[in-house]
Structure 1
Amino acid sequence: MHTDAEAAALPPGAGGLAVPQLEIYSVEGPVCVVRCWSGPVRVGQTFEDGRLTVTAIQRYSRRVETLDTAHSAKVTFSGDAVPRLRHSTAISPTGPRLYGYVGDPAIRAAVRPGTEGRAIRTPGDFAAWASEQTPDDLAEPFTYVIDADGVLRLAPRHSEHVACAARGWVFGAGEIAFTHDGDGWAVTSLTNQSTGYCPDPDSWPPVSAALSLAGLAYTDGFTHAFVFRHCGGCEQLNVVRDGFFVCVFCGADLHHE
């Protein structure tokens, strides 16, 4: 288990969050090793709109009733979202799930300051960014993330998502393409394809909110939604295709939820 000293460095602003929030380090069935970003979290606390309930908290082999900010523990959950628990994510009672980087550590280590994607907070921000792109640039999709502040960030297509996010946590990530007509800018293609963050298809709400802030027209939902699963046998990352939940590397079954 991670020590409290290791857990002391919380993400920016996490200690001041108004609601309980847990970072999940590891998952074994309904039991997770977690760090509390914002607490206290109590036995009986619900997360993800009531789909998860804390049924037990254990610190140093002793059961406790609460988990305070910056402390780590083993937490047992119940609920229909238990199969969706995943390491390197952060959960809260009602807000969308945050995703941490789960890709190649060497890629993350190579990220340098100043390589993050352009922040698009307003329609004016997008117009300024778009005016700097060539027609050839705009003919291709771009890398995007929705950062931990809910802001759309854009970078050239072959940029790593972890660089676009400045190595930070994200609400969403993938590829996005745009077009311009007489009514303004619109999204023509939008995915959650990021093998560095592996966001779920239900990461759509914060993506939608960020696009609205940027003044972009878009259809409801991803134009192409990807489902990612890590194999419990060989630990390889799989992209599930055609609803076939079988590891392409070792043949083991992948969990559906």
Structure 2
Amino acid sequence: MDAGHGELQIVSVEEAGPGTAVCVVRCVGGVVRPGQVFESGRVVLDWIVRYGERRVDVVSPPHAAKVQLSGDGVAGLRAWITISSAGYRRYGYVGPAEIRAAVRPGSEGRVIRTLDDFEAWASDQAVDELAEPFTYVVDGDGDLRLAPRRSEHVACAGRGAVLGAGEIAFSRGGVGWAICEVSNQSTGYCPDLDSWSAVADALDRVGIGRPDGFTYEVVFRRCVACGEVSVVREGDFVCVFCGGELPASWNVV
């Protein structure tokens, strides 16, 4: 599934730098949100500003906005072309910079593309470790990566953007391996609940039994008033840091 189709018409390119561009755009189709990808993954929408300098979490037709776009495809942006979203939403790392800086080459999680890959990985794990959840990400290529539970998600992802992230646990029964727990609990990437589509597709490609959705859901929001990231608990959209009202839609960029 798509994270949500959207089309942006470039009105003007205001600022351009290596791999980024700030543009005035008009939404001409669908709904557009930060984190959405365009042009077959070559352009990512980083943020949206409307009403002067106020950041917002969505823009829909026929409204205009100022946005920052990044990626290999921004060099081809010019006035009056239209770009279309495609693929899953990509989540960039939003955790502490020092944790990302500490990631060393070779610390990436094990890539699991097939059931044989999974069984080979499982055979390398101690019995007591298999009884606990593991850190996982779905990387930018859509592949499942697994790492020990206390691993940082940004290390598991090799510092890259992800399509999903959280914790996952497995059980083995008479019909083979299955997933007994899976969440989107990652404070490094704070993925939205709609990341389940990418997670489910990655698991289906591996060929391992899975639930119909996250067994534990975490709702992340960034407070517009103080800028801190909060977890919404029991449907109460109130910032735990300043008491401000949290947005209804995902906005952690």
TM-score under structure 1 length normalisation: 0.74
Q: Which residue identity is paired with 2:97? A: P
Following superposition, the deviation at residue 19 of structure 1 comes to 3.1
Look up the SS of the partner of 1:246 in the other structure: coil
Tell me the residue number matched to 1:34: 69
Aligned residue number for residue 45 of structure 1: none
AA at the equivalent of 1:3: A
Asked if the contact 2:164/2:195 (under 8 Å) is kept, the reply is yes
Where has structure 1 moved over 6 Å in runs of 4 or more? 39-42
Q: Give the direction of change, closer, same or farther, for the CA distance of 1:235–1:184 in structure 2 (3 Å limit).
A: same
Aligned CA distance change for structure 1 residues 2 and 147 (closer, same or farther; 3 Å) = farther
Q: Is the 8 A contact 1:20 1:39 kept in 2?
A: no
- The reply to whether residue 237 of structure 1 matches residue 215 of structure 2 is no
Contact 1:189 1:223 survives alignment (8 Å)? yes
Equivalent of 1:165 in 157, 164, 188: 157
Tell me the CA shift for residue 94 of structure 1: 3.6
Distance 2:177 2:192 in 1: 26
Preserved contact between residue 19 and residue 38 of structure 1 (Cα < 8 Å): no
1:19–1:39 CA contact under 8 A, matched in 2: no
Which residue number in structure 2 is paired with residue 24 of structure 1?
45
Q: Deviations over 1:217-251 (max 9, x none)?
A: 01111001111001111111101011100101100
Distance 1:39 1:33 in 2: 10
User: In the alignment, which of 40, 63, 66 is matched to residue 81 of structure 2?
Assistant: 66
Structure 1, unaligned runs of 5 or more:
9-16, 43-58, 69-91
Specify which of 247, 252, 255 is matched with residue 244 of structure 2.
Answer: 252
Matched, 1:110 2:102: yes
Aligned partner (choices 190, 199, 203) of residue 195 of structure 2: 203
Report if the CA contact (8 A) 1:21-1:93 is conserved: no
Matches within 5 A, 1:143-222: 143-222=135-214
RMSD: 2.4
- Please give the TM-score of this superposition, normalised by the length of structure 2: 0.75
**What residue number does 2:3 align with?**
none
Q: Percent identity?
A: 52
Displacement of 1:139 in angstroms is 1.1
Higher relative contact order (CA 8 A, sep 6+): 2
